[in-house]
Structure 1
């Protein structure tokens, strides 16, 4: 019996790179999933292909370019899941900012309404029309004439 060969540091590095790429790249066989999370046997074969390319000394960019050219941008895409996550987070932050601004505008009339009532209590005749003032003067004149 022969003992299994110990992996070299280069083999370990290639396996790590292949795992990272398989975890991050979208699967051409399972839309919405990474290569690593796709249960398809074809995805396992693709992982083996990625490992083979990594063991040949290709770097991440070369392997990703090879995958995109093999399956096309429509299946593999050019954006990584981390870039998509950043876009989703940025969109959520922008939406939250819009909600906060809208809430402030919605609440502001209530604040200005309380300011108007404070102004009207300091100037009670500010909201009285000219006709009402004329009638009030006539009534006061009638009282003075008694």
Structure 2
């Protein structure tokens, strides 16, 4: 029954077991546990009697639903964070070339239209505004 005094928390010394508590009251409680064991009481009976007297004697008893619930909530939060971050990165990658230069979109479109085979001014080709933007961009490059 000495192991019971090592397993249960002392009501007289917070954070210590009955066996490690230096209090004289803890020694008396340990003696009572030994007396009950010698009289033939089972460990469960002795423990239930002590818990009735001192509710916090068992110390921290973990609740599995709390642990699993926290783990599942953390996993869901990390998954959502991953998808939000991925979407944000993809969004910045799409807008990054346009943000680098105001005329970058105008420069990219005429090349695509020429690859399509349309002449300038035709429905498949670049518009006059795109051509002007390209000329402006080339002028700025020539100034360097």
TM-score scaled to structure 1, two decimals?
0.50
Alpha-carbon separation, structure 1, partners of 2:60 and 2:40: 24
Q: Does 1:52 align with 2:51?
A: no
For residue 34 of structure 1, the aligned residue among 8, 14, 17 is 17
1-side partners of 2:86 and 2:93: how far apart? 11
Which structure shows the higher helix fraction? Answer: 1
Number of residue pairs matched?
Answer: 105
Provide, for residues 83-102 of structure 1, a one-character-per-residue CA deviation record: whole Å limited to 9, x for no partner.
33868865774575366436
Within 5 Å, which residues of 2 pair with 1:1-146?
Answer: 18-71=1-54, 73=55, 75-76=56-57, 80-81=58-59, 83-84=61-62, 93=71, 97=75, 100-101=78-79, 103-105=81-83, 107-113=85-91, 116=94, 137-139=127-129
Offset, 1:50: 0.8
Distance 1:47 1:106, change over 3 A: farther
- Residue by residue over 1:121-142, the C-alpha shift from the partner in whole angstroms, topping out at 9 and shown as x without a partner, is xxx66xxxxxxxxxx6234789
Q: Which has the larger radius of gyration?
A: 2
Higher-RCO chain (CA-CA 8 Å, sequence separation at least 6): 1
**Cα drift, residue 49 of structure 1:** 1.2
Q: TM-score if structure 2 supplies the norm length?
A: 0.50
| Structure 2 unaligned blocks of 5 or more | 99-107, 110-125, 133-144
CA RMSD, aligned part only? 3.9
Q: Structure 1 residues 109, 37: CA separation in 2 closer, same or farther (over 3 Å shift)?
A: farther
